[in-house]
Structure 1
Amino acid sequence: MGWGDLGVFGHPAKETPFLDKMASEGALMTDFYAGNPLCSPSRAAFLTGRLPIRNGFYSSNAHARNAYTPQKIVGGISDSEILIPEILGKAGYKSKIIGKWHLGHQEQYLPLNHGFDEFFGSTNCHPGPFNDKSNPNIPVFRDSEMIGRYYEEFEINHETGESNMTQLFIEEGLKFIDEQHTAGNPFFLYWTPDATHLPLYASNAFLGQSQRGLYGDAVMELDSGVGRILDRLRDLEIANNTFVFFLSDNGAATYAKSNGGSVGPFLCGKETTYEGGMREPSIAWWPGKIKPGIVRQTMALSISF
């Protein structure tokens, strides 16, 4: 997603009411930057707190842990890297990743081997469909077990743009929150839906609802998911004890000539180190701790925790 995709950041369509409300109840971060303008190194930077040049996701060499990890890559996040869930686990937290991992797809690199207790989603993006011979479709995991593949058990219709994946990710998130609340566990939910990544998709209820085409439909559905998660925290009366942070892994893909995101007033987008590639729409929310309506113009970075 791009800096200019949210109504609160000035998008004229104003189709993100839940994120806009989240910003009004918390702190809007106007000068927040991703660790890298590309998926994998940005996620590695966020989860490790370390620059891509230090955590291993920096090279374009397809034989190494590189800046993008498609199926043919044999590497992934190093065992020597310490991720957020590994630190929180020592304090009794239960952690779950829902959605896109993108830090290695072989067994030793899967999330459960790097601090997460649960995983529902995929190790990669969702291009395809492929022929399942020379190039198989991307797998979907439940914890460490593959439970299906995109375009097969988990359908994405390229003709209509319809897929129920975001709804599955939302329900998984709500279920995890409920279970941890019932068990009395502190928790870390890393919710990383990927509907705004090409090829775009949205569920039937959101298709055709946006002024912005399929990309806008996907943004609206993600926005609704954030709203449902925040509502669940309120309903369980744990909102005042839960810190929520919204961000993107990189700027809008301005190379998408149609159905693409908005970088607002900034130059270029994803895969560039200009503002449009690294400056992200970001919101911090913690009722009772963060005063509502704050606009924070201080420069911040996704690795500076």
Structure 2
Amino acid sequence: MPRVSAIRFALICFALLLPRYLDAADTKPNFVIIFADDQGYGDLGCFGSTKIKTPNIDRMAAEGRRFTNFMVASPVCTPSRAALLTGCYPKRVGMHQHVLFPASTKGLNPTEHTIADHLKAQGYATACFGKWHLGHHPETLPQQNGFDTYLGIPYSNDMNHPDNQGKPRVPSDELWKNQESAITLWNTPLMENEKIVELPVDQRTVTRRYTDRAVDFIKTNQDAPFFLYLPHSMPHIPLYVPADVYDPDPQNAYTCVIEHIDAEVGRVMDTIRELDLADNTYVIYTSDNGPWLQFKNHGGSAGPLRAGKGTTFEGGQRVPCVMWGPGRIPAGTECDELVGTIDLLPTIAAITESPLAKDRKIDGMDVSGLLTGTWDQTPREEYLYYTSRGAIEGLRKGKWKLLVKKKTPPRNRPNAKVPPPEILLFDLSQDIGEQTNLAAEKPELVASMRSRMEELDAEVTANAREPWRK
């Protein structure tokens, strides 16, 4: 080929391929958040479990980054979910006072700005498949909070439509042995968008059906940016699985459920890989709070952490987290810097180069540099701990954690003098299990941290926004 013709041919090829390269450069990344319910810090192979086999999530960790100091904003469901989606401490959005029930008359205010709202405004397809638990009234369901489509249960799987009455008083082992109890003893609804489509939902198959919809959603939107929120309703009790993975031994109930969730995570990941979406997709796997330890073989493990669900000890609020994004998140790495679910909204905004509106305050921070490994330190120096009822109880500042546990008079002596609070101070860099109380040795640090805790809580309280109310 003559030299001029060769140059001309090369220019023509470049002109034809340039739009494709420009499109690729302008393509917004996809986001998938998989949120387990009541899964403990020690319930994944990549976080130290020797009993539970989680090869798919372990592969995510091998190809991505483990976050070992990852916090949720409440030790129970509803407030934790509100924090994840809004980037706020639950008290700031009025969702801090324990969990919602079928008779509750409030929910997440649709005027709040969620991750789904933020991405939908950029042209993302958005979907939620799983447990919502931020209000079951039409005004508070996912479609009013930024999601195009929804399939899932509106509250916890141990709650009954319409008034939470008639719940079975049967030991967990017996429920596990009788898997048909999913439909004979419970009356938990399955909703599609704003309508109940199955009552009761067959909890044996619901984890898989959430995944079915998730896979279909990814395939349908593979050529456009998407946000998939997949909040599984398990391993919250009662525990159920499909017949083909069922282990009849109730001692293995929790293990069986987690391994089933892991397999379903594998289906989502396989879909992303098979559609060549891996290079443009972030996947985050974490849990809404720590394990429900009182249910023993139906609850999980906090690993080296103290206590579990419902407490402000690390076992209640430090959860396993794996983030995956080939080419953007370094493979096989670990981050021990302080990060929380409240940081996901501003981080996603930074990744998509779409600033958040300045008309409302949030508590999250952009930690995108920790995902990519370009930052050595977190911008988050402080973190507040609220009880499951929304009372301020602690402050994390660097390696130090202060808990001020107020006490109440005995029930039979309402006029008795209120005992002083229990003051606990831990150096988490040396004592992840919170076994050595250093409060007596460092009174000045206790005083300064307590003052700062009260100052930060006062700001949140003064600027708190109202939830939706019926």
TM-score, normalised to structure 2, is 0.59
- RMSD value over aligned CA atoms? 1.9
SS at match of 1:304: helix
1:54 aligns with 2:104: no
Q: CA deviation at 1:36?
A: 0.9
Match of 1:7 in 2: 45
Correspondences of 1:1-305 after superposition (within 5 Å): 1-59=39-97, 67-127=98-158, 137-150=187-200, 154-156=201-203, 163-181=204-222, 184-208=223-247, 213-305=252-344
Q: CA deviation at 1:80?
A: 2.7
Q: Which moved more, 1:186-195 or 1:126-135?
A: 126-135
Distance 1:231 1:209, change over 3 A: farther
Match of 1:64 in 2: none
Q: 1:296, 1:88 → 2: CA distance?
A: 26
SS at match of 2:139: helix
Q: Which amino acid aligns with 1:55?
A: V
Q: CA deviation at 1:141?
A: 1.0
Q: CA deviation at 1:195?
A: 2.3
Match of 2:390 in 1: none
Q: CA deviation at 1:138?
A: 2.7
TM-score, normalised to structure 1, is 0.90
5+ residue gaps, structure 2, are: 1-38, 167-185, 345-470
SS at match of 2:296: coil
SS at match of 1:280: coil
Distance 1:129 1:292, change over 3 A: same
Q: Which amino acid aligns with 2:60?
A: M
Distance 1:129 1:87, change over 3 A: closer
Q: 2:217, 2:340 → 1: CA distance?
A: 28
Q: For the Cα contact (< 8 Å) 1:34–1:42, is it kept in 2? A: yes
Q: CA deviation at 1:148?
A: 1.5
Q: 1:258, 1:17 → 2: CA distance?
A: 21
Q: For the Cα contact (< 8 Å) 1:25–1:291, is it kept in 2? A: yes
Q: Which moved more, 1:171-180 or 1:206-215?
A: 206-215
Deviation per CA, 1:148-181: give whole Å up to 9, x if none. Answer: 222xxx224xxxxxx1111111111100101111
Q: 2:146, 2:218 → 1: CA distance?
A: 18
Match of 2:362 in 1: none
Match of 2:430 in 1: none
Q: CA deviation at 1:79?
A: 2.6
Q: 1:131, 1:231 → 2: CA distance?
A: 38
Q: Which has the higher contact order (CA 8 A, sep 6+)?
A: 1
Q: 1:80, 1:129 → 2: CA distance?
A: 28
Q: CA deviation at 1:259?
A: 2.0
Q: Which amino acid aligns with 2:202?
A: E
Q: For the Cα contact (< 8 Å) 1:170–1:225, is it kept in 2? A: yes
Q: 1:133, 1:228 → 2: CA distance?
A: 34
Q: Report the identity percentage.
A: 35
Q: 2:138, 2:86 → 1: CA distance?
A: 19
- Equivalent pairs counted in the alignment come to 287
Q: 1:99, 1:187 → 2: CA distance?
A: 17
Task: Select the structure that is richer in helix.
Answer: 2
Distance 1:3 1:209, change over 3 A: farther
SS at match of 1:13: coil
Larger radius of gyration: 2
Q: For the Cα contact (< 8 Å) 1:195–1:202, is it kept in 2? A: no
Q: 1:134, 1:292 → 2: CA distance?
A: 48
Q: 2:164, 2:78 → 1: CA distance?
A: 26
Distance 1:31 1:235, change over 3 A: same
Distance 1:241 1:262, change over 3 A: same
Deviation per CA, 1:225-271: give whole Å up to 9, x if none. Answer: 11111110010001110001011000011121332100001111001
Q: 1:145, 1:77 → 2: CA distance?
A: 18
Q: 1:56, 1:147 → 2: CA distance?
A: 30
Q: 2:136, 2:162 → 1: CA distance?
A: 19
Q: CA deviation at 1:217?
A: 0.7
SS at match of 1:137: coil
Q: For the Cα contact (< 8 Å) 1:252–1:262, is it kept in 2? A: yes
Q: CA deviation at 1:275?
A: 0.4
5+ residue gaps, structure 1, are: 60-66, 157-162
Q: 1:211, 1:16 → 2: CA distance?
A: 19
Q: For the Cα contact (< 8 Å) 1:210–1:217, is it kept in 2? A: no
SS at match of 2:263: helix
Q: 2:295, 2:271 → 1: CA distance?
A: 34
Q: For the Cα contact (< 8 Å) 1:202–1:214, is it kept in 2? A: no
Distance 1:210 1:278, change over 3 A: farther
Q: For the Cα contact (< 8 Å) 2:60–2:324, is it kept in 1? A: yes
